[in-house]
Amino acid sequence: MGSDSQHIVMLPFMAHGHLIPFLALARQIRRRTGFTVTIANTPFNIQHLRSTMNSSSSSSPPEPSICLVELPFSVSDHGLPANTENSENLPLDLIGKFFAASTSLRNPVHGLLSDIVAKEGKPPLCVISDIFFGWADEVAKSVGTVNLSFSTGGAYGSLAYISLWLNLPQRKADSDEFHVPGFPDSYRFHITQLHQFLRNADGTDSWSKFMQTQISLSLQSFGFLCNTTEEIEPLALELLRKYIKLPVWSIGPLLPPDVLNGSSLSGSGSGSSITIQRAGKKPGISTERCLEWLDLQSPVSVLYISFGSQNCITLSQMIEMAIGLEESTKPFIWVIRPPVGFDRKAEFKAQWLPEGFEERINSRKQGLLVRNWAPQLEILSHKSIGAFLSHCGWNSVLESLSQGVPIIGWPLAAEQAYNSKMLVEEMGVSVELTRGLQSTITWKEVKEVVDLVMEPKGKGDHMRKKALEISMLMRKSVKEEGEEIGSSVKALDDLVNILLSKRQENKPIA
């Protein structure tokens, strides 16, 4: 597909779990089409994206540039403390304010799109906006283009999230288990799978109002993009299409190119031969140190533990987890963030863990604690990794499965519990340890599940086999050359062709 001086504008929500796949999609569009791609966001997040892109270009072949535009956004105008332009540092009680504040980007986005029209003499080919930015549809239409709503989740998780917020079926349920519109009758969701915001929602509270408004507006878009593939979520995509009544292009998994184009998988991972570019955030440990530590471990023996870019567990849950890990004697890497209720930027404190824990696991060479941020993809792609204890954020799920690594789920927020449900019930690549912050998990339960998955010739082997099959399907879906172009690459080509032909016909496409 040749360059045709077209321009696409992308609007991610201000959270790492959204910025990362948006950037991957921007790169994919740029590589595949040569179009100009602009990502617009608040100043902090633009700086983050800029440093991610700069750090990638040092060892990879140079990539065509993506334009980054800063939109004015003042946290104090919205009653938010300093340094909260990204969800990572927000305490739970301010998350609602943060979401509400995001609607203030509407006018700056309108200004940006109008400037593009004035400068280029035509509107951008399309806007691709986060599902939380439902207002972007009207803004796109007002300058004569279309909006595509992009869910950075998978198809199953997105459908559950959309339907739960729009219908609040738990309100009408007469038991803890209930049906969610859009899913077959036999699929039951449990009240404990809903985050407290959703559990408390009654349609009049501020969360319901935000979610119902933004999701409904998003569903008026020209189409819907989903970070998944036809191969790994065929049924969920069918259900999603039927439910939202919009064309859905599945253009994932959106991962750095080397992750899926790298050397063939062996065992649980592709080994450290893959160079994966991340950053923008400083790891709490150097990648070299992590890989050196992993090199000392046996293949498929290490448990990697992380709860993503913004979630953390409670102090008592951390203590039980630590005891369970120590008792299991299995090697592990654990990304430690301040427990719930502590300052999100607090320095690591030994009191968060049982007395002498770090010294003991260091002296036995059993574990490695990483403060705040780990080079996750590099870790997951190392051959010593046997499983990932994860909150089931969708990027973590895709990254884990792309490396054939099975999952121990501990969903905490957003659509994570629905992802976890699918990983267990549909894909057979995960066991759920527990869910939520209310869970009174004990160290014995931690040890039991870790043993179940990590013992050789145990359940983990079966899950690993399934995860490896999924990783192969992912590779197939992003194949860019040869006779069999992958389904996700075709989906992106198809979308671009539709947008271009509408424009050439000079038909109004909104």
> Which amino acid does the sequence have at 76?
S
Helix (H) or strand (E) holding 130: strand 126-130
Query: Is 35 or 304 the residue whose CB approaches ligand UPG more closely?
Result: 304
Question: CA–CA separation, 408 vs 428, rounded Å?
Answer: 11
Burial classification of residue 160, based on how many CB atoms lie within 10 Å of its CB (0-12 exposed, 13-18 middle, 19 or more buried): buried
* Residue ranges in 415-434 that form contacts with ligand UPG under rule CB under 6 A: 415-416
Closest distance to ligand UPG from the beta carbon of 259 (Å): 10
Looking at beta carbons only, is 218 or 309 nearer to ligand UPG? Answer: 309
- Give the up-direction half-sphere exposure of residue 173: CA atoms within 13 A in the CB hemisphere: 18
Peptide bond into 406 cis (omega under 30): no
Segment near ligand UPG (CB under 6 A), from 13-21, 120-128, 218-226, 354-362?
13-21
User: Of 389 and 499, which has the nearer Cβ to ligand UPG?
Assistant: 389
- Helix 16-33 and helix 487-504, axial crossing angle in degrees, nearest 10: 70
The stretch near ligand UPG (CB under 6 A) out of 30-38, 58-66, 241-249, 369-377 is 369-377
Verify binding: residue 373, ligand UPG, rule CB under 6 A.
Answer: yes
Instruction: Using the CB atoms, write b or e for 30-45: b if 16+ within 10 Å.
Output: beebebbbbbbbbebb
Measured CA angle at 169 (ends 220, 233), to 5 deg: 60
Q: Are 139 and 113 in contact (CB under 8 A)?
A: yes
Residue 112 or 318: the one with the smaller Cβ distance to ligand UPG is: 318
DSSP string, 181-238: TTS-TT--EEGGGS-HHHHT--SSSHHHHHHHHHHHHHTTSSEEEESS-TTT-HHHHH
Among 16-24, 44-52, 136-144, 245-253, the segment contacting ligand UPG (CB under 6 A) = 16-24
Residue 263-292 contact track with ligand UPG, rule CB under 6 A, x = bound:
---------------x--------------
State which amino acid sits at residue 471: S
Rounded distance between C-alpha atoms, residue 34 and residue 41, angstroms: 22
Contact window for ligand UPG (CB under 6 A) among 141-149, 177-185, 307-315, 438-446 = 307-315
- Shortest approach of ligand UPG to residue 327 CB, angstroms? 25
Binding residues with ligand UPG: total (CB under 6 A): 27
Tell whether residue 409 is a contact of ligand UPG (CB under 6 A). no
Percentages (nearest 5) of helix, strand, coil residues in the chain: 45, 15, 40
With binding defined as CB under 6 A, does residue 127 bind ligand UPG? no
**Spatial distance between the Cα atoms of 28 and 453, rounded to a whole number of angstroms:** 35
8 A C-beta contact, residue 500 and residue 6: yes
Q: Do the Cβ atoms of 317 and 437 come closer than 8 Å?
A: yes
376 near ligand UPG, judged by CB under 6 A: yes
Sheet holding 223-226, edge to edge: 67-70, 36-41, 7-11, 126-130, 147-151, 223-226, 248-250
- 7, 16, 27, 447: which one binds ligand UPG (CB under 6 A): 16
As measured in angstroms, the least distance from the Cβ of 444 to ligand UPG is: 27
> Which region among 10-18, 47-55, 346-354, 466-474 touches ligand UPG (by CB under 6 A)?
10-18
Nearer to ligand UPG, 143 or 429 (CB): 429
How far is CA 203 from each of CA 330, 377, 418, 441, rounded to the nearest angstrom?
46, 39, 21, 32
Q: Which of 10, 294, 335, 336 binds ligand UPG (CB under 6 A)?
A: 335
Find the binder of ligand UPG among 145, 268, 395, 402 (CB under 6 A).
395
Minimum distance between the CB of residue 421 and ligand UPG, rounded to whole angstroms?
Answer: 13
Residue closest to ligand UPG when measured from CB atoms = 17
7 touches ligand UPG (CB under 6 A): no
Helix (H) or strand (E) holding 10: strand 7-11
Smallest gap, in angstroms, from Cβ of residue 284 to ligand UPG?
8
Distance CA 200, CA 383 (A): 43
Q: Under the criterion CB under 6 A, does residue 153 sit at the interface with ligand UPG?
A: yes
Among 374, 427, 429, 467, binds ligand UPG (CB under 6 A): 374
CB of 396 to ligand UPG, least distance (A): 3
Residue tagged 């705040």 (tokens): 372
312, 88 Cβ separation under 8 angstroms? no
In the complex with ligand UPG, the residue whose CB is nearer, 125 or 180, is 180
| Of residues 124 and 253, the one with the C-beta less far from ligand UPG | 253
- Quick one: which of 17, 124, 253, 460 contacts ligand UPG (CB under 6 A)? 17
Q: Which is nearer to ligand UPG, 223 or 393 (CB)?
A: 393
311, 328, 430, 434: which one contacts ligand UPG (CB under 6 A)? 311
Determine, following the binding rule CB under 6 A, whether residue 414 of this chain makes contact with ligand UPG: yes
Give the binding site for ligand UPG (CB under 6 A).
15-18, 20, 152-153, 278, 306, 308-311, 335, 373-374, 376-377, 393-396, 399, 413-416
